[in-house]
Amino acid sequence: MQDRPRRDTFLPFSRPMIGEEEIAGVVDTLRSGWITTGPRAARFEEELAAFNEVPRCLALLSATTGLELSLSALGIGEGDEVITTAHTFVCTVSNVVLRGAVPVLVDIEPDTMNLDAERIEERITPRTKAILPVHYGGLPCRMERIWEISRRHGLAVVEDAAHTMGARYAGRRIGSDPRSAFSVYSFHPNKNLTTIEGGAIAFHDLRHEAHLKLQRFHGIARGAGTPYPEGSPLYDVPTPGRKSNFTDVQAAVGLAQLPKLDGFAARRRELARLYLSLLSEVPEVELPADGDAEREHCWNLFVLRNRPEATGLSRDELTAALKAENVGTGIHWQGLFSFSFYRDYFERHPEGLPKDGLPHAARTTENLMSLPLFPALTEEDVLDVVSAVRRVVAAGRRRARG
């Protein structure tokens, strides 16, 4: 490939895809007189469930709340353990801690960066209640193996599907297999589908519905979002609850996004494969794994890993040099042990850590960076990014040679 010169405009690593349909939907909602949880939120939930091939989806303020409510619906609390990946956004683990349970970390597969299903069983104890896999960057975990372990040991599975709304595992949408009790999607602006902020829980056992609905809205036992005059102004509160409902304004954005989601994912795949092909000529960096026939990748993130011994650069030097080339990057994520709370927490809860440590997660978190990837990216943008990576790596190597 012919290297391109430095960009003269900054390219962010992510940008939400907001079109005229989203804007018109929001304006209509604002004009409708009902802007919080109401008829549009209900319609979004129905369309979301149909799209994801699940009996029920409940929309919420965030995926973070979705994870918390899933664990609470399973009755997970003090004295319990939840097996999860060592490489995730902090909220996956924090939700377990907030329930009073202990997150038991498992190292990742070095190629996919997803939790290594082969290391789950050795971490199961009589306290284990659930397995909480995260489909990192849009690549589904090896779910068949995880379900097989969960069945044998009587454990619930909650999928952190923050990155994988719309991806398929074994030909079916993530969340659609009833062997997982709950799957939780995020609609944060960096995700494949956004509702500004927002999330949803997909589930199969409708006995959970009442608990989830009470918990997302003050414990109020009446359809939250039933506009007067149809609803009654009176209600009961059978339990204390949170406030994490989803507004009609968010729903208007989501309803416009949903029909476009498969197209977004297809474009992300095209761009990711262009990156994979062009960057295969830069052996100083490690490329992310693609999906396969079983695990369809929806490429929420394109995560490159620096090989410091080959580039002569630390990850932070590399991303700073890319920024000087007008190429933005993200860090998904800082390791848990970079956070003061978790350094201290795992000192007090060594049962949360494997005896042989978390070498793959540690190396990954030190070296990773997310390159720009969103459906509006052009082929020229990708060429700009790859040219910048090549220049920065070549300069690092020259410096290392002295």
Ligand X SMILES: Cc1ncc(COP(=O)(O)O)c(C=O)c1O
List of residues contacting ligand X (CB under 6 A): 62-64, 88-89, 91-92, 134, 160, 162, 186, 188, 199
Which of 141, 313 has the CB closer to ligand X?
141
Q: How far is the CB of 60 from ligand X (least distance, A)?
A: 9
CB of 67 closer than 8 Å to CB of 159: no
State the catalytic residue, choosing from 191, 260, 323, 355. Answer: 191
Decide: 211 and 73 in contact? Cβ < 8 Å.
yes
> Is there a catalytic annotation at residue 191?
yes
Minimum distance from residue 221 beta carbon to ligand X (Å): 26
Looking at beta carbons only, is 62 or 176 nearer to ligand X? 62
Distance in Å, CB of 346 to ligand X, minimum: 19
For the chain, state the CA radius of gyration: 22
Angle between helix axes 90-98 and 63-73 (nearest 10 degrees) is 40
Whichever of 162 and 256 has its CB closer to ligand X, that residue is 162
Question: What residues contact residue 316 under an 8 Å CB cut-off, 6+ apart?
Answer: none
Element (H, E) at 20: helix 20-32
Is-cis flag, bond preceding 34, omega within 30?
Answer: no
Nearest-angstrom CA–CA distance, 19 and 33: 23
| Tokens at 370, concatenated | 């997310």
Between 74 and 134, whose beta carbon lies closer to ligand X?
134
Distance CA 107, CA 93 (A): 14
Report the DSSP beta bridge partners of residue 166: none
In the three-class reduction of DSSP (H, G, I as helix; E, B as strand; rest coil), residue 71 is classed as helix
88 versus 183: smaller Cβ distance to ligand X: 88
Strand partners, 83: 104, 131
E-state strands within 112-175:
128-132, 156-160, 168-169, 172-173
CB 85 within 8 A of CB 353: no
Cβ 14 to ligand X, closest distance in Å? 11
DSSP β-bridge partners for residue 66? none
Rounded least distance, CB 174 to ligand X, Å? 13
Q: What residues does 370 pair with on adjacent strands? A: 303, 330
DSSP state of 102: E
Nearer to ligand X, 114 or 186 (CB): 186
Nearer to ligand X, 134 or 353 (CB): 134
Minimal distance in Å, beta carbon 289 to ligand X? 17
CA distance 272 to 152: 37
Give least dist CB 67 to ligand X, A.
6
| Catalytic residue positions, numbered | 191
